Amino acid sequence: MSVITIQCRLVADDETLRHLWEFMAEKNTPLVNEILERLGKHSEFEIWVKTAKVPKTVIKELCDSLKTQEPFIGQPGRFYTPAITLVTYIYKSWLALNRRRQLKIEGKERWLEMLKTDVELEQESKSSLENIRTKSTEILASFATHQTHETNHKVRGRRSRKPKDGKADRPDKVVTIKPSRLFEAYRQTEDALTRCALVYLLKNNCQVSFVEEDLEQYTKQRRKKEKEIEIERLKIQLTSRVPKGRDLTGEKWLETLEQAVQQVTHDEKEAKSWQANLLRKSSSIPFPVVYETTEDIKWKSTIRKDFLFVLTGWESLSLKYIVTKDTFIYFIAF
């Protein structure tokens, strides 16, 4: 997608500019806020979180139902379409972040299921610790060989360089196995001994240890690897951090402050929600009105040979933009 940025100066009388600001701050931004809030309370919200996608038709239906109600009624037709587009962008970004949180949770919980003591690994594999170590050594050697071949293949594709000052080439670096490869191998194999050997390597930082396992240290490691507090925090974020709108007047902040002063929280979750709302810094600028196509722009030329363009839907307000060297406003065309 190409982006063209044009520096423009907005030309209109004070009354027109005031009228434009009222539309953006008192009608369009509250409309976007309301759609965001209703989507977060929608009966299919949990499904959207899992699929990481909100149907645009649902957003349009919400907008259509609201544009006949106060204070959202009476906006130029072109303002409703950008509101739908903006909400789509916001939720698309939020759901992508949410998906990454979900993958983190699944990864940590999967590791919790995998992690076992050496004794438990012996029992699961029905083999001795010595055999597990031997298998771990074979796995490391196999991965190191494969990784070396990949590296050499990449080097052959590059232009060779002559060593400076007659010095010989540096010896090969020690091959480091990435834990992600061991996790992938674990998912792909069903052999009990191989799976136990992979877990053994993962909990020993991808190395074969010949030191007897310290159960106290293992407990600390399990706690560290598990990160129960972080998992719980991520789960709370999945359910509570829905996209928020812009509180231009500070009304929402004052409502939360009044609740915190006059009421007692029912649980810790509600207390954290109040705290987050009070600490959150909301933008004091209205949501932008996005024009996505060139069909929304009409170009004209003036006697002074300036170039003008008029946004569709605003001809009656005499809103025009003069393309000059002055940097007042940025219009972005996609």
Which is more confidently placed, 211 or 133? 133
11/314 Cα distance (integer angstroms): 13
For the chain, give every domain's residue range. 118-158+171-212, 252-281
pLDDT of 240 reads 60
Instruction: Indicate if the pLDDT at residue 316 is higher than 70.
Output: no
pLDDT score at 122: 93
pLDDT of residue 265: 74
Mean pLDDT of 325-333: 38
Q: Does 324 have pLDDT greater than 80? A: no
DSSP for 83-135, please give it.
HHHHHHHHHHHHHHHHHHHHHHHHHHHHHHHH---HHHHHHHHTS-HHHHHHH
Is pLDDT of 83 > 70? yes
Q: What is the DSSP letter of 8?
A: E
Q: Which two tokens stand for residue 239?
A: 């359910």
Amino acid at 3: V
- Structure-token pair, residue 136: 């771990």
Q: CA 284, 290, 295: angle at the middle one, nearest 5?
A: 160
Percent pLDDT > 70 in the chain is: 66
Q: Please tell me the predicted confidence (pLDDT) of residue 200.
A: 92
The per-residue pLDDT for range 145-171, each reduced to its tens digit, is 876 666 665 555 555 455 555 444 444
254 or 294, higher pLDDT: 254
HSE, CB side, 13 Å, CA atoms: give it for residue 289: 24
Please tell me which residue, 131 or 155, carries the higher pLDDT value.
131
For 83, the token pair is 């509101």
Highest mean pLDDT among 164-168, 198-202, 260-264, 287-291: 198-202
Per-residue confidence (pLDDT) for residue 32, from 0 to 100? 94
Report, as an integer, the average pLDDT of 8-17.
71
CA distance 201 to 179: 9
Residue 210 confidence (pLDDT) above 60? yes
What percentage of the chain carries pLDDT values higher than 90?
22
The residue length of the chain stands at 334
- In SS3 terms, 121-174 reads as HHHHHCCCHHHHHHHHHHHHHHHHHHHHHHHHHHHHCCCCCCCHHHCCCCCCCC
Instruction: Please give the pLDDT value at position 302.
Output: 60
Question: Average pLDDT in the 11-26 region?
Answer: 81
Q: How confident is the model at residue 125 (pLDDT cuts 50, 70, 90)?
A: very high
Highest averaged pLDDT of the listed ranges 10-14, 68-72, 273-277, 327-331: 68-72
pLDDT at 328: 37
